[in-house]
Amino acid sequence: MPTDSPLAAAVLAYLADTGPVLALNLDVQQRVVMANAHARRILGTNVVGRALGELVLDFTPLPDLQTPDATGKRSHLLSLNTAAGMPESFHFRFFALPEGTLALGCLDFQEQARLQTEVLGLNHELNDLTRQLHLANAELKELNQLKNQFLGMAAHDLRAPIGVIMTYSEFVLDEVGDRLPEEHQEFLRTCLASAIGMQQLIENFLDVSIIESGKMRLDLAEATVPEILAGVEPIARLVAVKKKISLVVLPADEARRMPVDVPKLQQVLLNLLRNAVEHSRPGQRVWLSSHWDDQNLLFAVRDEGPGIAPGDQAKLFMSFAKAGTRKTAGERSVGLGLAISRLIVEAHGGRIWVESIPGPGATFQFTLPRQTQRQTPTPA
């Protein structure tokens, strides 16, 4: 076919603009001096000026272009680095030119078919794994519901006997405690303290089972920060005084109001304050502060305790998780207080986190949006 014929011109135009063939014009140093549109799309727009050896992967032997196959009948399988970062294999034919070589490459369709078969096989495996995962998730969801049901029932049934132990222990101490030997009084005080701790544990179990079952409902009411702290500060001071900890409550904004579930928010603040006191030593201080910005209300509880290692911080707000630091008076905990706090804060549409490094204490903070939107908390 004459090279100046209309048909030859059409073929060359197709090859240059849209043909799915790599067309590389190489100079005598085997550098690309011209590349068609398909080559630039596959190998990258910077292909011109690069040596053929830069495009070919190391494990692919280069043909000897010093004596190229002038007829182009011999095919060379070369694996090239593509612009997408994935190697692809092409069958190349090389044709001698007056000042270099023309390289024409097309995809290795056998390799493409093999890869397609592998992809289909992997896709089937992925579908099987996805089905297994859905089944496992359904089983886990059912087990979690059974766990919440069991916790709720057990905690509810334990409330009454624990209440009896607390009531009669307090009654004996108040009525005849001064007539008992000091050792017997200490026995009763130990029973009462243990019962109080057990009551708190039961309440935590009930909170977790209610929240994770999706049955928790926020009773929102407009309130100011001082109104919220009115039910928190007296109790927190009693807890702090027992350990000779100084509680510092910084002044709060008196006027702004926002919709919150006041009792649940007070529960969060008391959890954080108790946690700070339990990790502090006599003579140290705990701060409670609040701050408004344009969108959020921020609460912060800071202590002077041992601090928290970075590796422990991520798991603090998960159920039954504990940090590596120990409470200073040996207080016991099953690791539910912070998890419950997170669930309550998230139900308000807020966020809770901790900032700390080992040594200078920890600061627990949480934000609440000014316009609270009820949200479903993520199980801990």
Domain termination site, one of 156, 177, 212: 212
Residue 36 has pLDDT above 60, yes or no: yes
Arithmetic mean of pLDDT, 58-66: 73
* Whole-Å CA distances, 235 to 151, 223, 285: 27, 19, 16
What distances in angstroms separate CA 300 from CA 47, 136, 195, 240, one per listed residue? 57, 39, 30, 17
Which of 128, 140, 369, 149 is closest to 260 using CA atoms? 369
Name the residue range of residue 57's domain: 6-107
**Does the pLDDT of residue 121 top 90, yes or no?**
no
**Is this prediction's pTM over 0.85?**
no
Pick from 237, 255, 254: nearest CA to 246: 237
Q: How many domains does the structure of the chain reveal?
A: 3
**pLDDT category of residue 163 using cuts at 50, 70 and 90:** confident
132 lies in the same domain as 247: no
113: tokens are: 């078919």
**Other CB atoms within 10 A of residue 67 CB:** 8
Are both 281 and 311 inside the same structural domain?
Answer: yes
Residue range 251-269: mean pLDDT, rounded? 85
> What radius of gyration do the chain's Cα atoms show?
37
Question: Bigger pLDDT: 359 or 53?
Answer: 53
Domain match, 362 and 248 both: yes
One domain, residues 93 and 118: no
The mean pLDDT of the chain is: 80
Residues 302, 333, single domain; the answer is yes
- Residue 189 and residue 89 share a domain: no
User: 286: pLDDT confidence band, cut at 50, 70 and 90?
Assistant: very high
Confidence of residue 302 (pLDDT cuts 50, 70, 90): very high
User: What is the model's pLDDT at position 152?
Assistant: 65
Token pair recorded at residue 45: 């727009």
Are 365 and 230 in the same domain?
yes
d(CA 150, CA 73): 78
Say if 1 falls within a structural domain: no
280, 305 contact by CB (below 8 A): yes
pLDDT at residue 346 greater than cutoff 80? yes
pLDDT band at 327 (very low <50, low <70, confident <90, very high): low
Q: Are 67 and 73 in contact (CB under 8 A)?
A: no
At residue 206, the pLDDT reads 66
Average pLDDT over residues 276-300: 89
pLDDT of residue 333: 52
Whether residue 48 is found in the same domain as residue 137: no
CB atoms within 10 A of CB 289: 16
- Per-residue model confidence (pLDDT) at position 112: 67
